[in-house]
A and B are shown apart, each in its own frame.
Chain A
Amino acid sequence: DAGVIQSPRHEVTEMGQEVTLRCKPISGHDYLFWYRQTMMRGLELLIYFNNNVPIDDSGMPEDRFSAKMPNASFSTLKIQPSEPRDSAVYFCASSFNDRETQYFGPGTRLLVL
């Protein structure tokens, strides 16, 4: 069974450009999470969805960040415009329900120049 799939694995862009990160959760999982990992702040939850509906976006740093989940098998995290401080590894995770283990994708390593 395929795990969580993320693309791209690496992204290098220039400040001011739009960045779109993609995630395909494990089939049958109703919860999808976006995390960010930085040296300064560690792993932090940005937003999560239940049945494609955003439930908690309190971790989204600012209006430049947005996330969507148009269907059960696809989610995007968009940064517009990107800034150098957005450089981080972005992880997507999914779980079967709200009490089950969250399984993580391989992450997208983003570098904003």
Chain B
Amino acid sequence: AQKVTQAQTEISVVEKEDVTLDCVYETRDTTYYLFWYKQPPSGELVFLIRRNSFDEQNEISGRYSWNFQKSTSSFNFTITASQVVDSAVYFCALRDYGGATNKLIFGTGTLLAVQP
């Protein structure tokens, strides 16, 4: 069965601090996709990144970076020099590559509060 675990329910940091959001996944598939979405207080779900299981290269986009490690089944997300606008709920999600369903399996989300 597929499962995504985001053990950190809430994280509070002060602006300019670095913060890492953890994501651990379980799947029996050898090929799969991993995603991060952001849900700001306004409520929409904003796509941040997609990685496939063949590509373990870390990715950096501005202040955001992602560390994908198949050996530990983790796909962690780091925000460098956090800002108040980063305050949101962040969801990690998993989808298998060629399964019978296109269901995204979401974690329970991590609420990040960045204090000024």
Q: Which residues of A contact B (CB under 8 A)?
A: 31, 33, 42-43, 45, 48, 55-56, 59, 89, 91, 93, 95, 98-99, 101-107, 109
Contact B97 A45 (CB under 8 A): no
Interface of A is mostly: strand
Contact B44 A107 (CB under 8 A): yes
**Which residues in A have their C-beta under 8 angstroms from that of B33?**
99
**Which residues in A have their C-beta under 8 angstroms from that of B108?**
42
Those of B8-50 within 8 Å (CB) of chain A: 33, 35, 37, 42-47, 50
**Which residues in B have their C-beta under 8 angstroms from that of A104?**
37, 44-47
**Which residues in B have their C-beta under 8 angstroms from that of A56?**
101-103
Contact A103 B47 (CB under 8 A): yes
Q: Which residues of B contact A (CB under 8 A)?
A: 33, 35, 37, 42-47, 50, 91, 97, 101-104, 106, 108-109
**Which residues in A have their C-beta under 8 angstroms from that of B101?**
56
Contact B104 A45 (CB under 8 A): yes
**Contacts A/B (CB < 8 Å), 26 sampled:** A33-B102, A42-B106, A42-B109, A43-B91, A43-B106, A48-B102, A55-B102, A56-B101, A56-B102, A56-B103, A91-B45, A93-B45, A95-B102, A99-B33, A99-B97, A101-B47, A101-B50, A102-B47, A104-B37, A104-B44, A104-B45, A106-B42, A106-B43, A106-B44, A107-B45, A109-B43
Contact B103 A45 (CB under 8 A): yes
Q: Using CB atoms, name the residue of chain B closest to A9.
A: B43
- Shortest A44–chain B CB gap in Å is 8
Measured in the bound complex, the distance between the Cα atoms of B106 and A59 in whole Å is 14
Measured in the bound complex, the distance between the Cα atoms of B95 and A31 in whole Å is 15
